[in-house]
């Protein structure tokens, strides 16, 4: 992808990028949570992976629309949306999750000069069960991320600087999962630092259509294959 886009000037503080393939029944709730922020200086980009019909949602809510013409993966879809985003910072939102109303305001006010900020989240189920997730480690730690072969950072809570992201070339487009984990390791390997905010900024919906809840041996093997690929890049 061409990340040297002359029209990619920063005119807003934050760009929220909502990645979607199809509406699984939660998209409008996700959009409304993005629109209901206690913060004014932001835009919303609806990024469709191979489904032009999603433009109807962008039109309905007056959102910017990005279309990845041929269905690919979340990394490629997000990268394409980042090219038209005008925010200084990028904030990802899954189509089945929610941002808390304080999300952007608190993240922007606490990132300082760091490359990335992460925070707390809530896992919630349809039956009303809620679990608060706080990271076990309150800073970006390269050695711990490598050792764990996983991330203690909830990807839904992160916000990061667009200029660093684009200079890197975005997410690794060979990855169909774990793209945030790879990006954490990249930043830390280059000496960038993270900020942590002890507040809830993201609501993570638990349901039976999530990729992360598929526990088949084949799916576990696939995810571990991507993780090993990522770890071997940085060892």
Chain segment 88-135, per-residue pLDDT in tens: 999 999 999 999 999 999 999 999 999 999 999 999 988 888 999 999
Answer yes or no: are the C-beta atoms of 51 and 120 closer than 8 Å: no
* Residue 202: count of CB within 10 angstroms of its CB: 27
Q: What is the pLDDT of residues 42-85, one digit of tens each?
A: 999 999 999 999 999 999 999 999 999 999 999 999 999 999 99
pLDDT, residue 10, reads 46
Answer yes or no: are the C-beta atoms of 90 and 17 closer than 8 Å: yes
Partners of 65 in beta bridges: 46
Give ∠ CA 38-43-49 in degrees, rounded to 5.
125
Instruction: Answer whether residue 219 shows pLDDT above 90.
Output: no
Q: How far apart are CA 8 and CA 166, in angstroms?
A: 10
pLDDT, residue 155, reads 96
List Cβ neighbours of 100 (8 Å cut-off, separation of 6 or more).
33, 200, 201, 202, 203
* Residue 66: count of CB within 10 angstroms of its CB: 25
Which has more confidence, 1 or 64?
64
Label residue 3 by pLDDT band (50, 70, 90). very low
Q: Which of 4-13, 34-43, 143-152, 181-190 has the lowest mean pLDDT?
A: 4-13
Answer yes or no: are the C-beta atoms of 91 and 159 closer than 8 Å: yes
pTM over 0.85: yes
Label residue 212 by pLDDT band (50, 70, 90). low
Instruction: Answer whether residue 39 shows pLDDT above 90.
Output: yes
Superfamily (CATH H level) for 12-234: Spore Coat Polysaccharide Biosynthesis Protein SpsA; Chain A (3.90.550.10)
Indicate the average pLDDT of the chain: 92
pLDDT, residue 210, reads 59
> How, if at all, do strands 87-94 and 12-20 pair?
parallel
Label residue 2 by pLDDT band (50, 70, 90). very low
Residue 113 carries which DSSP code?
T
């Amino acid at each position: 992808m061409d990340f040297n886009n002359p029209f990619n000037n920063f005119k807003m503080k934050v760009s929220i990028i909502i990645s979607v393939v199809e509406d699984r029944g939660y998209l409008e709730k996700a959009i409304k949570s993005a629109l209901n922020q206690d913060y004014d200086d932001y835009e919303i980009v609806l990024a469709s992976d191979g489904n032009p019909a999603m433009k109807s949602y962008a039109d309905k809510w007056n959102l910017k629309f990005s279309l990845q013409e041929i269905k690919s993966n979340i990394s490629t879809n997000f990268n394409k949306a980042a090219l038209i985003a005008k925010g200084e910072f990028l904030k990802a939102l899954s189509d089945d999750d929610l941002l808390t109303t304080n999300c952007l305001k608190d993240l922007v006010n606490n990132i300082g000069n760091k490359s990335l900020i992460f925070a707390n989240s809530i896992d919630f189920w349809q039956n009303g069960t809620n679990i608060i997730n706080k990271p076990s480690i309150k800073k970006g730690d390269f050695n711990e991320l490598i050792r764990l072969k996983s991330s203690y950072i909830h990807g839904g809570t992160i916000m990061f600087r667009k200029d660093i992201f684009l200079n890197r070339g975005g997410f690794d487009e060979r990855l169909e999962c774990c793209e945030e984990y790879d990006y954490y390791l990249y930043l830390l390997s280059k000496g960038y630092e993270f900020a942590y905010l002890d507040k809830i900024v993201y609501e993570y919906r638990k349901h039976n259509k999530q990729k992360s809840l598929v526990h088949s041996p084949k799916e576990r093997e696939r995810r571990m294959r991507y993780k090993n690929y990522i770890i071997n890049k940085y060892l």
